[in-house]
Amino acid sequence: MLCRRRQPLSTLGVALACALFLSAAVMLGEAQPASAAAPSTPGQLIDLRGWGLTLPVAAPGSVNARTVGPAALPAYSLPPHFALNSTRTAVLLRAHTSGAVIPGGTLARTELREVSASGATDAWTSATSNVLTTRQAVTHLPAASPWSVPAEVRAGSTDVLQILADGRGRPAGTATLCVRFRGIVQATCLDNNYVLGRAYDLSINVSSGAITVSYNKIVKLTVAYAGTNMSFRVGTHLQTKQGTGANDYGETALFGLGVTHAAAAPTKGWTPKPGVQWQWQLGSKPTAAELTTAYASGARAFDIDGDAATSADVTAIHALGAGVGAVCYIDVGGWEDYRSDAAKFPASVKGNSIDGWPSERWLDVRQIAILKPLMQARIKMCASKGFDGVEPDLMDGYQNNTGFPITAAHQLAYNRMIADLAHAAGLKVAQKGAIDQTAAMQPYFDWTINEQCGQYNECGPLSAYAKAGKAVWIVEYSGFPKVCAIDFPLAGASAMYKSVTLTASPRTPCRSSAG
């Protein structure tokens, strides 16, 4: 597809518990080998380095909840709030409804929280890869109001995502396990018929502007979220102060716990610089004369069709001058019947025809297992031809009539995958369109390309790229001289007028005088 208008606007020790049995063999007349000692504290069962603890017990000389830092925690226990179970196979975290609370808080908790060596709350961003894995069981809920949070993601003092065990209105000993995201319980639950005490595997993956929750190894939910000052927490965070008495409580058993944090993959080489002019030529293969003309008029980056290009075409672009970049156009959200790999796409991922393009159909971006290797092959093709970057088109299927129930979260997860594949191949990658998801996508893309945001007065969100020191490329098809004359609405944007045919000319560039 050439151009088309879209709708406007760690492992820090995964310790799986196993029972330790003492040998009872007696050999007459021989000395016995020493038996392995069973764990006596939670920190001997599970690696608690990198964690702090909040308890529903008042700290000495205070009415506020007690906290235990990472230095003391490995040898710490306080039954019944923080102790091993009777078989020494799990750590029990118990909180009473009448327990002490943190300053400014109202709900009691016995909760492990990520901390630095100094004891300060650990803080990471959703731009990196952050994964919590735990095997746990909710063993008890308060009788008067049975609900609790056994795991959560926080950003500063904000509860971003919580796993919610809710037994209200249900038979005793049962609950639903659902996800509460930004205060709203999501329609898709992890388990609608959870039995208290039944162990389950939980994974929460926060990376590339999204949070993915898996339950017993099955992905259940993905939501879009970009944030900073984030941390994981596990344990028993009560959701009520109501109790049948001072001893009413909630409890979570923790069998295993691990966290991984990884930096975003670095990329090398060419990077589009803010304000640098560019040429977009997808409607025809650029000739040597056309490349020379565009370069002479100021273009220092060239975006061409990747499937049609040869290595020689890319070499010709680089030969124009030092620092000139070559960008590889590919379609990641649509199927085109004329592409060299068209036969590799199964019918199950091909949806409705794309308006105005009868030879093209929307892809079901929910089916990442099928599409990932196909898109990886396309991106590797770009790298093998010598391109510096990728323009992935059709990243906004969720806003269109695709024939599939694609949500914003599905789309964001797919777009993040595309960025990861490009970076893994050593290429820079642009956010193409999808302007409504700019805030969530900007941390993971290297620049942005947009069509007609000036005409439709929707350039505002793209300022996230400008503020991050990243390039903003914009193409307008009508009204462009007027837009230039009144100072392009996004300061610093590299904008130009083109024909919708996207041939070599016309190419009329301008850059905001405010940029």
350-365 residue pLDDT tens: 999 998 888 999 999 9
Whether the pLDDT of residue 17 is over 50: the answer is no
Residue with the bigger pLDDT between 463 and 251: it is 251
4 located within any domain: no
Structure token digits, residue 149? 């949070």
Angle at 218 between CA 215 and CA 219, to 5 degrees: 90
Q: Kindly state the average pLDDT of the residues 274-300.
A: 95
CATH code (residue 232): 2.60.120.200
What pLDDT does residue 491 have? 64
What pLDDT does residue 493 have? 84
Based on the fold, state whether residues 247 and 285 are members of the same structural domain: no
Residue with the bigger pLDDT between 512 and 156: it is 156
Based on the fold, state whether residues 337 and 441 are members of the same structural domain: yes
Based on the fold, state whether residues 293 and 217 are members of the same structural domain: no
What pLDDT does residue 155 have? 92
13 located within any domain: no
Whether the pLDDT of residue 479 is over 80: the answer is no
CATH code (residue 395): 3.20.20.70
What pLDDT does residue 64 have? 92
Which residue segment(s) compose the domain that 382 sits in?
Answer: 279-511
Q: Which of 262, 294, 327 is the last residue of a domain?
A: 262
d(CA 381, CA 394): 19
Q: Which of 218, 237, 262 is the last residue of a domain?
A: 262
d(CA 168, CA 24): 47
Report the number of distinct structural domains present in the chain.
2
Based on the fold, state whether residues 212 and 302 are members of the same structural domain: no
289 located within any domain: yes
Give the burial string for 304-343 (b: 16+ CB within 10 Å, else e): bbbbebeeebbebbbebeeebbbbbbbbbbbbbeebeeee
Based on the fold, state whether residues 314 and 228 are members of the same structural domain: no
Confidence of residue 15 (pLDDT cuts 50, 70, 90): very low
What pLDDT does residue 483 have? 56
Based on the fold, state whether residues 252 and 311 are members of the same structural domain: no
Based on the fold, state whether residues 227 and 321 are members of the same structural domain: no
Structure token digits, residue 487? 């100072």
Based on the fold, state whether residues 246 and 288 are members of the same structural domain: no
pLDDT digits (tens, 9 = 90+) for 364-389: 999 988 999 999 999 999 999 999 99
For residue 152, the surrounding DSSP H or E stretch is strand 147-155
